[in-house]
């Protein structure tokens, strides 16, 4: 029990104070567990509707009409995975590239490139599939487009940085990026179940994000400011809700109860003296509402 509590506390700590890479990894894992919890419930209850619900919420429809009908898929799909090997591969890649990215840039920039790299990747898949493969239907799911955006940005910013594959083989970042780029180009049109256009779209965004760095023209800087503004607004709305809830203290609630109780007694006294028909419409409505809340 203590270990579970410590794990839960550590997760909360990482979500609040950990690196952005750790936060993104945790969110992806939690989404994966949530998806499979839903699917398990559907399997136990024999409800096919649960699987339909999960796919409608957590995946992106790669058709133009489908994506317009369910636009939230552009966002939810970049945090969602169905297969164990899919999420394992992606999160290892995310953990490596995210931590390397945060050596050079802020966590907020990482979040920005993750979000918009994934969104652009999803949009690229939808548009390309609609143009080149209009007869085919498929869904897009996974953080690959976002991760490719991060990796492409790193490869452009620090191309000669060496990484050691399997801890042994030194490879420069730009060489590995070119390999992934060629792999996705070759894979277009194949039946391997991979959203290659999403990968390429994410990578393209990563390259664009590194143009005109530290200037007002930089697209990543502009989008980061947008994310900051939206985050600030959400925080203000949440604080306002908390303040409004705190204003209504126990004394206020008890005072309201006393007023309603006294008004109820007055109306009942009036009924005993003059009868129900002597009540006004407002008094009758008040008495009716009180009887419902009793």
Q: Give pLDDT tens digits along the chain (294 positions).
A: 445 557 778 777 787 878 899 999 999 999 999 999 999 999 898 888 899 999 999 999 988 888 999 999 999 999 999 999 999 999 999 999 999 999 999 899 999 999 999 999 999 999 998 888 877 778 999 999 999 999 999 999 999 998 888 778 889 999 999 999 999 999 887 878 888 999 999 999 999 999 988 888 888 888 888 887 887 777 777 676 666 666 655 556 666 776 777 777 777 777 777 777 777 777 777 777 777 665
What's the confidence (pLDDT) of residue 1? 45
Q: Are 55 and 144 in the same domain?
A: yes
pLDDT of residue 15: 79
Give the pLDDT score at 31. Answer: 96
Count each helix (H run) and each strand (E run) in the chain, helices first: 13, 4
Any domain includes 288: yes
Rounded CA gap, 210 and 219, in Å? Answer: 8
Position 88 in a domain:
yes
- Residue 255 counted as domain residue: yes
Q: Are residues 62 and 205 in the same domain?
A: yes
Query: Among candidates 127, 156, 153, which has minimal Cα distance to 205?
Result: 153
pTM score, whole prediction = 0.76
For residue 49, tell me if it sits in a domain: yes
Domain boundary among 210, 240, 272: 210
DSSP string covering 54-116: HHHHH-EESSHHHHHHSTTHHHHGGG---SHHHHHHHHHHHHHHHHHHHHHS-HHHHHHHHHH
Range of the domain at 264: 249-293
Question: Strand 162-165 relative to strand 139-140: parallel, antiparallel, unpaired?
Answer: unpaired
The reported pLDDT for the residue numbered 90 is 96
Question: Does residue 188 sit in the same domain as residue 254?
Answer: no
Asked if the structure places residue 271 within a domain, the reply is: yes
Closest CA to 67 of 122, 120, 19: 122
Residue 38's H or E segment, with its range, is: helix 20-45
Tell me: do 134 and 79 sit in the same domain: yes
Q: What pLDDT, on the 0 to 100 scale, is given for residue 244?
A: 63
Count of structural domains within the chain: 2
């Amino acid at each position: 029990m203590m270990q579970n509590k410590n794990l839960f506390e550590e997760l909360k700590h990482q979500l609040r104070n950990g690196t952005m890479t750790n936060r993104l990894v945790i969110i992806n894992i939690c989404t994966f567990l949530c998806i499979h919890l839903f699917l398990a419930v559907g399997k136990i209850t024999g409800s096919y509707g649960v699987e339909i619900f999960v796919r409608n919420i957590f995946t992106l429809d790669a058709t133009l009409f489908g994506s317009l009908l369910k636009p939230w898929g552009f966002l939810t799909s970049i945090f969602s995975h169905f297969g164990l090997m899919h999420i394992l591969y992606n999160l290892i890649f995310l953990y490596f590239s995210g931590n390397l990215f945060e050596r050079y840039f802020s966590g907020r920039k990482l979040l920005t490139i993750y979000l918009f790299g994934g969104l652009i990747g999803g949009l690229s898949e939808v548009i390309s599939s609609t143009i080149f493969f209009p007869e085919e239907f498929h869904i897009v799911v996974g953080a690959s487009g976002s991760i490719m955006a991060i990796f492409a940005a790193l490869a452009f910013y620090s191309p000669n940085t060496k990484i050691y594959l399997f801890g042994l083989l030194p490879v420069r970042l730009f060489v590995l990026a070119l390999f992934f780029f060629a792999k996705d180009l070759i894979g277009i049109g194949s039946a391997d179940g991979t959203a290659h256009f999403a990968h390429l779209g994410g990578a393209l965004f990563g390259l664009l994000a590194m143009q005109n760095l530290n200037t007002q023209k930089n697209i990543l800087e502009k989008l980061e400011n947008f994310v900051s503004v939206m985050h600030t607004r959400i925080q203000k709305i949440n604080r306002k809700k908390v303040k409004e809830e705190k204003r209504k203290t126990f004394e206020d609630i008890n005072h309201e109860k006393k007023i309603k109780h006294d008004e109820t007694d007055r109306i009942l006294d009036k009924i005993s003296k003059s009868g129900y028909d002597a009540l006004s419409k407002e008094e009758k409505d008040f008495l009716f509402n009180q009887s419902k809340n009793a």
